[in-house]
Amino acid sequence: MSDVRLGVVGLGMMGRHHARIAQTLDGVSFVGAADALGDRFGVMQNGTLVSSYRELIELGLDAVVVAVPTEAHSEVGMAMADAGVHALIEKPIAATTGEARTLVDRFEAEGLVLATGHVERFNPALIELRKKLEEGHLGNVFSISTTRIGPFPERIKDVGVTKDLATHDIDIVRWLSGSEFASYAGYVSHQMGRDHEDVVSIVGKTESGVTINIEVNWVTPVKRRSVLVVGQKGALEVDMLTSDLTYYSNSSIPTEWEAVASLRGVSEGDVLRYAIRKPEPLVSELAAFRDMVISRDDVGLATAADGLAALLVAETVLESTK
């Protein structure tokens, strides 16, 4: 098959990286990008720059990455479905679950690929963690805790931290546990004087009985991204920023030195940081999108249904805070 003719709508914080990668990705012919503000980050080395997604459609596309503000996801996505163009829409898939369902139904009716940009599924350390969970490395899994905190991004104006960031972690929990959220609640606060929340805590359980604890905010002066999975045989922890995976085995050696025991517990187990290959997650995600457009096979992407499921949990959390 000839190369997939790919375009990008939006050259902001995420779209510029999609465009950068698309211009050099094997099996992809980069058609160009659309952004009303132009190529302000200087990423366009080839392809055509236009000001609107409708102009981009006219250039002839097989597939597109939609990386515009959340409130425009539905409009751009529906236009792509009308034009017969496969789409990868950055998370959250839409501003509301109603819009998301309409997108899912339309792309399905047209026989088109619709994927959601939950790029953490391509974080090398999380891929390795999931593999170890499937192999029973921890035995029964008791809990999954995630932390995604950092400073406030001025670019986000149309949604709060729950839909913009916590949807990442909701998807991670679903993906790692292989189970849907069963019972859960959320707590939010508004510290930055905006209409939308900038702090959210989500607690609950999956249908398989795994305890969930998700902490996300835009008010912390240091950026942290981590996942901790605790199970029968110990714990696995991922630093998503460095893509490091560390295993903490259950305690086995008694600690006889009282001063150390007060710091580390009455006994200690082995600690091991795994050496793993670390390809750029966004490159892997775009390659998977290319392959899905060609084959229609499941290649590890978060599907439209996955995006809808994460958004539904986020909306339910926001509703629970009322």
CB contact set of 250 (below 8 Å; sequence gap of 6+):
233, 234, 269
Q: Parse the chain into domains and list their residue ranges.
A: 4-120+282-302, 124-279+311-320
Q: What is the pLDDT of residue 219?
A: 94
Residue 31: both structure tokens together: 């058609």
Tell me phi and psi for residue 132, to 5 degrees: -70, -35
Give the C-alpha distances (Å, rounded to integers) separating 118 from 171, 222, 247, 261: 7, 23, 25, 41
- CATH homologous superfamily for 4-120+282-302? NAD(P)-binding Rossmann-like Domain (3.40.50.720)
Q: Quick one: average pLDDT of 85-100? A: 97
CB-based burial label for 126 (10 Å; 0-12, 13-18, 19+): buried
Is the pLDDT score of 173 beyond 60? yes
According to DSSP, residue 2 is labeled P
Q: Are 65 and 22 in contact (CB under 8 A)?
A: yes
Mean pLDDT over 74-97 rounds to: 97
This prediction has a pTM of 0.92
2 pLDDT tier (thresholds 50, 70, 90): confident
254 against 303, higher pLDDT: 303
Q: State yes or no: pLDDT of 15 exceeds 90.
A: yes
The C-alpha angle 298, 33, 67, rounded to 5 degrees, equals: 55
**Average per-residue pLDDT in the chain?**
94
Q: What is the mean pLDDT of residues 152-166?
A: 83
Instruction: Name which of 22-36, 70-84, 288-302 the model is least confident about.
Output: 288-302
Is residue 184 within 8 Å of residue 167, measured between CB atoms? no
> What pLDDT was estimated at residue 298?
82
**Tens-place pLDDT, residues 94-145:** 999 999 999 999 999 999 999 999 999 999 999 999 999 999 999 999 999 9
CATH superfamily entry for domain 124-279+311-320: Dihydrodipicolinate Reductase; domain 2 (3.30.360.10)
307 contacts 93 by C-beta, under 8 angstroms: yes
Average pLDDT on 174-188 reads 96
Q: Model confidence over 248-297: pLDDT tens digits? A: 998 776 777 777 777 666 567 889 999 999 999 999 999 999 999 999 88
220 pLDDT higher than 70: yes
- Alpha carbon separation from 313 to 23, 31, 186, 219, 283 (Å, rounded): 35, 36, 10, 22, 28
> In b/e form, how buried is each residue of 2-40, taking b as 16+ CB within 10 angstroms?
eebbbbbbbbbebbbbbbbbbbebeebebbbbbbeeeee
Residue 194 — pLDDT band, cuts 50, 70, 90? confident
pLDDT-above-70 percentage for the chain: 96
pLDDT number for residue 156: 66
- Which residue in 9, 11, 5 sits closest to 43, CA to CA? 11
Q: Where residue 44 falls among pLDDT bands split at 50, 70, 90?
A: very high
| Residue 136, both tokens | 């029973």
Q: What pLDDT, on the 0 to 100 scale, is given for residue 45? A: 95
Residues in the chain: 322
| pLDDT score, position 265 | 64
